[in-house]
Chains A and B, each alone.
Chain A
Amino acid sequence: SQTIHQWPATLVQPVGSPLSLECTVEGTSNPNLYWYRQAAGRGLQLLFYSVGIGQISSEVPQNLSASRPQDRQFILSSKKLLLSDSGFYLCAWRDRYTGELFFGEGSRLTVL
C-alpha cells in the first residue's frame, strides 16, 4: 500500500531564515505530488504541483520554491522566511485512477 511521509512535523524559525520541508511517497511510482498550505483557520491553498522529476508548476508566486530531485521525493524550500509563511504545510499524492488526494501528516511551521 502507498504511504506518504513528511518531516519535520513541527518547526519554529526566525524571520529571514531558510526552510526545507521534505516529503516522500512509498508504494507507487511516478506519482503526481502536491504541496498545500493551510493558514490558521483557513482552507487549503495549493502551492506547487509536480508530475515528475524536475517538473514543478507553481500555483502562487511567492518566496517559496519546490523541487523534485527523485521520483518519490518532493521538497519545499525558502531562502528567507516571512512571518506570513507560518502555517500547516501538507504534501499529497494523487491516485491517477480515482483522483483521490492523500495527505501526509503535515509540517507545522511557525515563523517568529
Chain B
Amino acid sequence: QKEVEQNSGPLSVPEGAIASLNCTYSDRGSQSFFWYRQYSGKSPELIMFIYSNGDKEDGRFTAQLNKASQYVSLLIRDSQPSDSATYLCAAWAPPRRFSGGYNKLIFGAGTRLAVHP
C-alpha cells in the first residue's frame, strides 16, 4: 500500500467550476499535510498546509482534513485555465522507532487537473 495515494487523473473541469482533488494516507501518525502545485517542467510550489481536522481556506483554495478517515482534499473554487497543473498531496511521516529514522515528507504521485475554457 502506498503511503500517500492520489488519483492520477486527468481531472477535467470547466472554467469557473469547483475542482475537487482527493488524497488518502496510510500512516495514522502523520500530523501535517501539504498541497503543492506543479506546472509541467517546473518544481513544486506550496499552495497550503493543514494540521487540524476540518477546513482551512486561503483565497480560492480550501483544504479539508479528516484524520479519522485518513483523508485530505483540496477544493479550488472558480477554477481558471491557469490552475491547470499537477497537484501533489504530501504528508509528514513520523520517525520510525528504533530505526534511527527522521521525519520525512511523503508525496503522492499527483493528480493532473485540466481546466478548459
Contacts and interface: CB of A to CB of B under 8 A. Distances in A.
B32 interface: yes
Nearest to B6: A43
B81 interface: no
Interface stretch (A66-74, A76-84, A99-107): A99-107
A87 to B, nearest CB: 13
Please tell me the size bucket of the interface on A: 20 to 34
Please tell me the size bucket of the interface on B: 20 to 34
Contacts of A99: 32, 34, 49, 92, 103, 105
23 contacts: A34-B105, A36-B107, A42-B109, A43-B88, A43-B108, A43-B110, A44-B88, A46-B104, A49-B102, A51-B102, A90-B43, A94-B105, A98-B49, A99-B34, A99-B49, A99-B105, A101-B34, A101-B90, A101-B105, A104-B43, A105-B42, A106-B42, A108-B41
